Structure formats: structure tokens, C-alpha cells
A and B are shown apart, each in its own frame.
Chain A
Amino acid sequence: MNGGGSWRRLSGYLFVAPYLVLFAAFVLLPVLFGLGLSLFRWEMLSPLAPEYIGLDNYREAVGDEYFWMAVRATGLFVVMAVPMTIVMAMTISLGLAALNKRRALYRAAYFLPVMINISVAGILWRWFYNSEFGLFNAYLAKVAARFGTTAAKVPWLSDPRVAMPSVVLMTLWWHVGGPTVILLAGIKQIPESYYEAAALDGASASQRFTHITLPLLKPVLLFVIVMNLIGSFQVFGQTFIMTRGGPELSTRVLVQYIYESAFNFYRMGYSAAMSWLLFVAIAAVAALHFFLLRER
């Protein structure tokens, strides 16, 4: 090959160059920069110069009571939201798959809330949940009145034990549509003839589900679970808009603590260290996913 040929091959990178510049500046560099940052004490508003402190930020996180409260709130959200989302999405998508008509219409209805942005969705549900003049308690009062009693006002967002389940309920409404649509597409990929053959052999509906649908859906299902886990670890908007992390910090999740450490207290190094801890947790989940996929 002559010099002109290899120039031609390399010059093809001109097509990729504009993207690579942006990728390097706003993805690759920040990842490395963030890792470096987590080893420094860097308080933006303080006169102290940034100082290398090794793993001290990570040590601080391990001993920080508020960090563990945020971990607990995040864990509580993940443990409730992920299984419920998956079971609900699975149920709805199986129901949709069984329909012959109007499937696209119903599918769009379940997906519609995904399109609503978090400010609007959060404000709407804060009104639903308001214990004095919210929609839910107004309806509970109406139902109670019909039975000749009065209903106690449910403290949807004002009781530390109730607040997180309320956030989860709102999240189910907001985001179940995504996994539902993906699972439905996965179910529709399974050839109809498998079910017909099983029906001829006298397999019941539940047998067909456990022996055909579930095994063939496994890769899609795992994908949906992992994506949902990754997303749930990063929960932020719902709690930020509806509760600001309250009451009594019961819904202050990790991302909110990371956000506040950086942008309210300007502790950039500490905030970066906590983001890396979150990343490690997420990476562990993703690794588990690949492990489970290989099991197949």
C-alpha cells in the first residue's frame, strides 16, 4: 500500500473527530478527573488550595453517619421499587400480549407517564399526597363518609415511615411503562408455534409461562432488571421535588447527598468520592448481570 492509501484510511477519522473531541472533553476526561478529584480535599469556596489526601475522602464517607443514612434510603428505594416495577411490568405486558385488538392503544396509555418530566410529575403527586387538601385523602374522606365514619388523614409524605413507600408508588406510575414496552416486544418475539405445540401436548397456561415464556424471555428480562437497578440506584428527581429528602432525611438518597455536598457545601472532592462509591455499587450489579447471562 502506498502513502496515499494509508492517509486515506486515517483521514476517515475526520468523520469521527468532532464526536471524539466532545466525547473526550465531556465523558472520558470527567471520568478520570472525577477519580483524581476524589483523592483531593477541594473546597471550592474555601481559601485553602486543593490538597492531595489519598483515600481520606473515602474513609470519611465510611465513617459519615449521613452517608449511611443516604445509603439506607437509596437501598430502601431500590429494594421496594425494582421488584415491584418488574412484577408489574411483567403482568401488564403478559396481559397486553394476550390481546388481539387495541393493544397499541393500551400500550401507549401505560407508556404516557414516562413522557412527563419529573418537575411536573413530582408537583402533581405532591398535590395528590398533600395530607390536608390532597386528592388521595379527599377521596379517602369521601369513601369513609359513605360508610358513616371519618377517615384518618394519611401522612403520605410527612411521616418518615410512609414517605419512601409513597415515593415508590409514584415511581411505579411514572416509569413502569418503559420495562412494560420492552418486555412486550420480547414476548411477541417468541414464535406462536411454540405455544400451539405446548397446547396440543396439554400444557396449562402456567406451564406454558414457566416452560416457554420465562426461559425464552430471560435475556430481555435480565436486561430490564439491570437497567432498572442502575436507574433506581440513581433515584433523585422524585425525592428532590416531592420531599426534598425529608421528613427527617428519611428520603434523602445518595444522589441528593452527593448533589448537596458539591453544590450546597462545595466539597467537590468528597462529593466525587461518594459518586465513585455509587459507581462501584452499580458496576457490581452490572457485573452480576453479565455473570448471570453467561450462566445460560
Chain B
Amino acid sequence: MPARRRWLIEAAIAVGAAAFVLPVALIFLTAFKSETEILHFDSLLPSQLTGENFSEILASPEEIPIGRWFLNSLFISSCVTLLVLTVSSLAAYGLARLRLPGRRYVFAMIIATMMIPGQILLVPVYLILNWLGWLDSAAALIVPAGGGAFAVFLLHQFFRNIPRELEEAAALDGCSRLGIYWHVVLPLSRPALATLGIFTFIGSWNAFIGPLVFLDSVDRYTLPVGIALFQTSYWAEYGLTLAASVICTLPVIVVFLLFQKHIIKGISLSGLKQ
């Protein structure tokens, strides 16, 4: 390809990339503007940096318990990640590496549910959680997440390719099946576990419809639902909602910048391994 053409392509790609990043940057830039400056828009950059939006939302924890929401989100996402990694890796190990009778059918049934849209489950899961007495608690968001099929599918694909010899050698050394899982399979699968862990954490952190439906008390909200609710009562106060948005978005952006390769690789693989 001629160099000039390559430059033209890169210029177009760069302009597009800037257009995609700019709205994200605006969350941060605008959160440091004063309310009047937001309402009388003149330039993308704040004429004067102010922390007043942040001090205002942090100042009234009774009305806007944003610190509480942050901790709720952190707690729920961490528990979901831990639960998903544990139960899914055990199940994927059993289904991929042990000669369980009928495992083919069990695996096929699990995979078949990946097609089912979450909305189908919304009402019945709500009623089941109601019956268990878990509505309006963190358990309502944590425990059902462990039943998702995607994690088992992803780890199954990965575990399948681990050479048998490694397991056989460990078994000769007197390693139990649990020992093989823990000392051989898990250490070899670190990249897959990391990708899955990051995915699960971000997915749970950003989850919206589940927390919206299953939680009731303002105190128990996660950040996305808290912010969405907060937005309805502070309809036009964009400075405040954007300051809250910064608190919600910053952790995800940090995770993304740190683990960008894992995240993008995970997404790419989902399309290639069918």
C-alpha cells in the first residue's frame, strides 16, 4: 500500500478514535465545571476547575449515599467474581477433564442456555428470590450470577487443551483429583482465569437491570442504579450527576487501562472460537 494512502487511513482512524474518546473525557472535564458554566456552554474545557460538584455529592451521605453505593458495588462485584471463578472452574474441570458418565449431555444443556436472553429470566428469578426472601439484599445479585453458562463454556474450552500427560504425572505422584485441579489445571489456566475474572467484575460493576429490579432500599443500591435514581430527583443538575459518574467510571477505566490486552483478547476470542 502506498505510504500516502496509509497516512490518509491513519488520519481517518485517528479522527474517529478521538470522537469515541471525547465523550468519555467530557465526563471528567465537565464534572469539574461549575453548574452555571455547564448550563451556559461555551467551551469543552472548564474555564476554572472546581471541586464543588464533588464536595456537594459527598457532603450529604443521608440523601445521596454515594460512598455506600460504591462499597455495595465493590462488595457485590468482588463476591460475584469469586463465586463465578470458583464454581465455574470446578465445573469446567469436571466436565472437560474427568470421564463423567453423561457429561456430554450436561455440557450441551448448559451451552444451550447461553442463547436465552436474560429478560426471560427476570420475572421468574424475581419470584424465586422473593420466595427465598433474598430480595433487596446483596445475595439476590451475587448467588444467581454463579449459574451463568458463559464462564463454564470459556474455561471448558481452555481446560480441554491442557495436555493429559501433566495430569497423569501428577496422579502418579499421588495427587488427588482436587490436587490436580488446584496444583496443575488452575496454575496453567491463569490467563483464562484472569480474562474471565476481569470480564465478570466489569460486567457485574456495570450491571443495571438486575439491581434495578431486585433492590429496593436506597442504602443497598449499587452505583449504576443509585446514579440513575439520583438523576431522576436531580433532573437538571448535570454537574452533580457527572461528578457521581466520575466516581462510578474511574475504577472501570483504571481496570481497562491496566488489563486492556486481556479484555480485548477475551472479546476477540468469543467471536473466533465457535
Instruction: Identify the A interface with B (CB < 8 A).
Output: 9-10, 12-16, 18-20, 22-31, 33-34, 37, 92, 95-96, 98-100, 102, 104-113, 115-120, 122-125, 127-128, 133-135, 138, 173, 176-178, 181-186, 189, 219-220, 223-224, 227, 230, 233-234, 236-237, 241, 255, 258-259, 262-263, 268, 271-272, 275-276, 278-279, 282-283, 286
Whether B6 contacts A23 by the Cβ 8 Å rule is: no
What chain B residues lie within 8 Å of A133 (beta carbons)?
38-41
* Distance between B64 CB and nearest chain A CB, rounded to angstroms: 14
Residue in A15, A122, A177, A178 with the greatest tally of chain B CB atoms within 10 Å: A15
B228 within 8 A of A: yes
State the Cβ distance, B273 to closest chain A Cβ, in Å.
10
Q: Which residues of B contact A263 (CB under 8 A)?
A: 126, 213
Distance of B94 from chain A, by nearest CB (Å) = 3
Q: Check if B123 sits within 8 Å of A118, measured CB to CB.
A: no
CA distance A262 to B124 in the complex (A): 10
B20 touches A119 (CB 8 A): no
Shortest C-beta distance, B272 to chain A (Å), equals: 6
**CA–CA, A113 and B253, complex, Å:** 10
In the assembled complex, which residues on chain A have CB atoms less than 8 Å from the CB atom of B252?
115-117
Q: Which of A25, A100, A123, A220 is B272 in contact with, Cβ under 8 Å?
A: A220
11 pairs, CB–CB < 8 Å, chain A vs chain B? A15-B177, A16-B100, A27-B116, A31-B116, A108-B264, A113-B20, A115-B252, A117-B223, A123-B241, A234-B117, A241-B228
Q: Are A33 and B128 in touch, CB under 8 angstroms?
A: yes
Q: Shortest beta-carbon distance, A97 to chain B, in Å?
A: 10
Residue pair A18, B256 in contact (C-beta under 8 Å): no
Q: Are A19 and B272 in contact (CB under 8 A)?
A: no
Partner of B10, one of A22, A99, A178, A258: A99
Please state if B260 and A120 are interface contacts (CB–CB under 8 Å).
Answer: no
Q: Are B227 and A182 in contact (CB under 8 A)?
A: no
**A residues less than 8 Å from B24 (CB atoms):** 112-113, 116
Residues of B near A31 (CB, < 8 A) are 113, 116, 120-121, 124
Task: Verify A123–B93 contact, CB threshold 8 A.
Answer: no
What would 18 more interface pairs be, CB under 8 Å, given A15-B93, A117-B252, A123-B245? Answer: A12-B100, A12-B177, A15-B90, A16-B90, A18-B90, A27-B116, A29-B124, A99-B10, A113-B23, A115-B253, A116-B249, A122-B228, A124-B23, A173-B23, A178-B267, A236-B119, A272-B124, A278-B119
Q: Does B191 contact A (CB under 8 A)?
A: no
Would you give the shortest CB distance from A17 to chain B, in whole angstroms? 8
Whether A23 and B122, one on each chain, are in contact in the complex, defined by CB atoms closer than 8 angstroms, is no
B99 to chain A: closest residue by CB: A9
For B1-18 the 0/1 string (1 means CB < 8 A from A) is 100001001101110111
Give the chain B neighbours of A219 by CB distance below 8 A: 274
Known: A33-B124, A123-B242, A185-B268. A25 touches B90 (CB 8 A): no
* Interface range on chain B (Cβ under 8 Å from partner): 35 or more
In Å, the complex CA distance between A9 and B177 comes to 11
* CB neighbours of A255 from chain B (8 A): 119
Q: Which residue of B lies closest to A128 (CB)?
A: B23
Among B54-62, B141-149, B166-174, the stretch in contact with A: B141-149
- State in angstroms the CA–CA spacing of A99 and B9 once bound together: 8
Instruction: Please give me the residue from chain A that is nearest to B229 by CB atom.
Output: A119
From A19, A24, A105, A118, give the contact of B206 (CB < 8 A): A118
- Asked if B38 and A262 sit within 8 Å, CB to CB, the answer is no
C-alpha spacing A294/B263, complex, angstroms: 31
- Residues of chain B contacted by A98 (CB below 8 angstroms): 1, 6, 9
Give CA–CA (A186, B252) in the complex, Å. 27
Given the known inter-chain contacts A98-B9, A119-B208, A275-B122, please indicate yes or no for A23 contacting B100, CB distance below 8 A: no
The one of B14, B90, B91 in contact with A106, judged by C-beta atoms closer than 8 angstroms, is B14
Chain B residue nearest to A283 (CB atoms) is: B115
- Is A259 a contact of B122 with CB atoms below 8 Å? yes
| B82 interfacial by beta-carbon distance below 8 Å | no
CB-CB contacts below 8 Å: B139-167 with A:
143-144, 146-149, 152
Q: Which residue of B122, B128, B202, B208 is within 8 Å of A258 (Cβ)?
A: B122
CA distance A278 to B208 in the complex (A): 20
